[in-house]
Amino acid sequence: MSTSRQLVQKTLGKRYARERRFRWYGALSILVGILFLGFLLVTTVSNGYKAFVQTYVQIDVDLSAAQFGGEITPESIAAANFDGIIKDSLRNAFPEVSGRTDRRALYGLVSNGAQYDLREMLLEDPSLAGGVTPVWLLADDEVDVFMKGRIDRNEPEANRRLKDNAIGWIDQWVDEGRVEKRFNEPFFTNGDSREPEQAGIFGAIMGSFFTIAVCMLLAFPIGVAAAIYLQEFAPKNRITDIIEVNINNLAAVPSIIFGLLGLAIFLNAFGLPRSVPLVGGMVLSLMTLPTIIISSRAALAAVPPSIREAALGVGASPIQTVLHHVLPLAMPGMLTGSIIGLAQALGETAPLLVIGMVAFIVDVPTSPLDPGTALPVQIYLWSDSPERAFVERTSAAIMVLLMFLVAINGFIVLLRKKLERRW
Amino acid sequence: MNQEASNSTSSLLEKDVVDNPDFVTVGTITADDAAMTCRNVDVHYGDKQAIYNVSVDIGRNEVIAMIGPSGCGKSTFLRCLNRMNDTIDICRVSGDIRLEGEDIYDRAMDIVLLRARVGMVFQKPNPFPKSVYDNVAYGVRLHGLTKTRAELDEVVEKSLKKAGLWNEVSDRLDKPGTGLSGGQQQRLCIARAIAISPEVILMDEPCSALDPIATAKIEELIDELREQYSIAIVTHSMQQAARVSQRTAYFHLGKLVEVGPTDDIFTKPTHGLTEGYITGRFG
């Protein structure tokens, strides 16, 4: 009769119960995580999906030659007063409207950017001019919000931005089939604007793109080189210990402090321009460096020492050993670290605020030296704006940012797969 | 002889070796024709001394086996011969080690050149995660030993043939070297070592991770390689030492206790500790 067998058997039930319990804890945490993520996605998408369409109204615009000083040439088109033309057309559409306040409300139904769109349209196709032509124009954001059902017409008039008369005109247009929702192209091609219907994400996308490109071009080579030196070549002494501790500390420093550092060094000491993605990238690379160095060192440390010995044993110099054998094996791990750093940098707002990338910039940056803003900063800016139409744009911008993240992560995962050797 | 008596004898003998700072290796440390000479080699790991005053020759075209219980410093000593210990920060080597009369720890000695002249095969087969061909060609390319692709092909083929691997891998030179079996991998590592035509080959327990059949093949190979190279092999298997070597060195706790012709060491060892180890009384 074996007593140890009995003793073991007695504990078995408890052990299995504990195992089951832990599995449940794990599953539960995953479930909670998924729920939160799902909640985030659902609210973002449900708030934001409508931003991808935009309301346009069709107006019969008087484009007779008289409006262009009698002769229709590119010069006369460029010089024409399209604001006046559109206002005239609106007055013609609702001749009964009189009085300054009512007229102003009527003019407000069309975006004040429509005049520029109209000029573009005519410059592209001068044949439109010469008579009264129905033209689709960008509607004002309040019209857009109303058409998307976010303004309740039963609300007392005083609480509405859109008054009863305006709703009446819109209803009339709707009846005549003069209101249409189209794909919101301006959102993807414009820079920021005070007018929600003209505000686009493209400026922020380009700003983020340049910022991240500068950040990666700086942080990845410097981080990998630092990791290689520290891991493979540096002597183990007090100084390298201190460096290591400090790198680990830097990884936990709040990002706003990196922003202040960038402000002090890059802007004040070096005199680099404010609000430019170049400086943004430099600041973010400071912030990303510790992450990349730490993960790269871990990746290097995970390369089996036997490979190093093999290379040294056939007479490879230390640098050759690292470049030919250790680095290729560590590269997938290094890229994983860089993904984390890059994702962090892409979502970072605070340091960019400090170096002025929060400025209101309408132009789309075309180089890292043009003033710009970044996606997370744009989200912050829009979320802070009072116009209702910015609510859905904020969510749409979040969706674009998430897409960006998914695209970048996907790309690096692919790259990793390619580099990973399974032999 | 009863167990207790033998234990006390061996501990007395051990005291004589370990506690005696003036202990002198028993037997003949010199070889008739030495490729490498080591004199008064001490190795320290930080404060700890791992090798005490070891003097021995590596004979040309002969195999010297280094045996001894675990932790006796035989691997450490072997790694001094191509300065592999340099990679360990806290390791200090003193004494005089010469390859064909040149001090390998001299400032003028280039470590890359030294390792090209003194090749090494490790305990665990460690092919590069590259193709079989690239594994063998790596060192050759590194040192620029061949000018044309045809020459390189020839060197690779010759090395694989010498390592007795050609017949098994000639049709899959472009397949990963890590896909071979353990024994094949180790022979690939030997091919990699001999591809750069070293003068001395160091082998650190090359068969400890292999099965008996693969071991037999490697042992056969070592015997053939002796015609061209000088070989120093560390092994845990006394049978292997007896089979492949011409001279044997017995290490004990960092000291070289006895060196001599293998036949003498295994039939009539002079020192009691050597006798105790090869007869299996301790170790």
> Nearest by CB to B128, which of A235, A236, A325?
A325
pLDDT of residue A164: 87
**Span A40-45, average pLDDT:** 93
Residues 313 through 332 of chain A touching chain B, CB cutoff 8 Å? 313-317, 320, 324-325, 329
- C-alpha–C-alpha distance, residues A305 and A375, integer Å: 43
Query: Is pLDDT at A276 greater than 90 in this prediction?
Result: yes
For chain B, report the end-to-end CA distance as a whole number of angstroms. 18
Give the position of tokens 């057309």.
A89
What percentage of chain B reaches a pLDDT higher than 70?
96
Nearest CA to CA, how far is B120 from chain A (Å)? 6
> Nearest by CB to B143, which of A308, A309, A315?
A315
- pLDDT confidence of B1, banded at 50, 70, 90? very low
Query: Is pLDDT at B2 greater than 60 in this prediction?
Result: no
Each residue of B225-241: pLDDT tens digit? 999 999 999 998 888 99
pLDDT of residue A42: 95
Retrieve residue B191's tokens.
């091919």
Among the ranges given (A284-293, B82-91, B255-264), the one the predictor scored with the smallest mean pLDDT = B82-91
Nearest CA to CA, how far is A244 from chain B (Å)? 18
pLDDT of residue A24: 97
**Span A99-121, average pLDDT:** 89
Nearest CA to CA, how far is B155 from chain A (Å)? 15
> What residue of A is the nearest CA neighbor of B198?
A314
What's the whole-model pTM score?
A: 0.82
Of B190, B196, B201, the C-alpha closest to B137 is: B196
> Nearest by CB to A309, which of B113, B122, B193?
B122
pLDDT of residue B9: 66
Chosen for mutation from B88, B104, B115 (greatest number of chain A CBs closer than 10 Å) is: B115
Chosen for mutation from A238, A314, A329, A421 (greatest number of chain B CBs closer than 10 Å) is: A314
Chain A hits for B120, CB-CB cut-off 8 Å, are: 309, 313
* φ, ψ at A241 (rounded to 5°): -60, -45
Nearest CA to CA, how far is A224 from chain B (Å)? 21
> What residue of A is the nearest CA neighbor of B120?
A313
Report which secondary-structure segment, H or E, holds B63.
Answer: strand B63-67
pLDDT of residue B7: 58
Q: Confirm if A247 and A377 have CB atoms less than 8 A apart.
A: no
Nearest CA to CA, how far is A227 from chain B (Å)? 18
Chosen for mutation from B142, B143, B156, B178 (greatest number of chain A CBs closer than 10 Å) is: B142
- C-alpha–C-alpha distance, residues B195 and A375, integer Å: 57
B205-230 burial string, b = 16+ CB within 10 Å, else e? bbbebbeeebbebbbebbeebbeebb
Third-level CATH fold of A202-419: MetI-like fold (1.10.3720)
User: Is the sign of the CA dihedral B15, B16, B19, B24 positive or negative?
Assistant: negative
Q: In what order do the strands lie in the sheet with A179-183?
A: A132-138, A53-62, A179-183
Chosen for mutation from B82, B87, B114 (greatest number of chain A CBs closer than 10 Å) is: B87
- Stronger pLDDT, B10 or B161, i.e. the higher one: B161
- C-alpha–C-alpha distance, residues B98 and A400, integer Å: 68
What percentage of chain A reaches a pLDDT higher than 90?
52
- pLDDT confidence of A70, banded at 50, 70, 90? confident
pLDDT of residue B42: 93
Cross-chain Cβ contact B126/A423 below 8 Å? no
Nearest CA to CA, how far is B209 from chain A (Å)? 14
> Nearest by CB to A313, which of B89, B122, B178?
B122
CA B283 and chain centroid, separation: 20
Each residue of B14-55: pLDDT tens digit? 777 777 878 888 888 888 888 999 999 999 998 999 999 999
**Span B61-81, average pLDDT:** 91
* φ, ψ at A79 (rounded to 5°): -90, -10
**Span B167-183, average pLDDT:** 90
pLDDT of residue A423: 44
Query: Is pLDDT at B12 greater than 80 in this prediction?
Result: no
What percentage of chain B reaches a pLDDT higher than 90?
48
For chain A, which residues make up each domain, given as ranges?
A: 2-49, 51-183, 202-419
| Number of neighbouring beta carbons within 10 Å of residue B150 | 9
**Span A33-53, average pLDDT:** 93
Each residue of A237-249: pLDDT tens digit? 899 999 999 999 9
Cross-chain Cβ contact A236/B138 below 8 Å? no
Query: Is pLDDT at A377 greater than 80 in this prediction?
Result: yes
> Nearest by CB to A313, which of B113, B120, B129?
B120
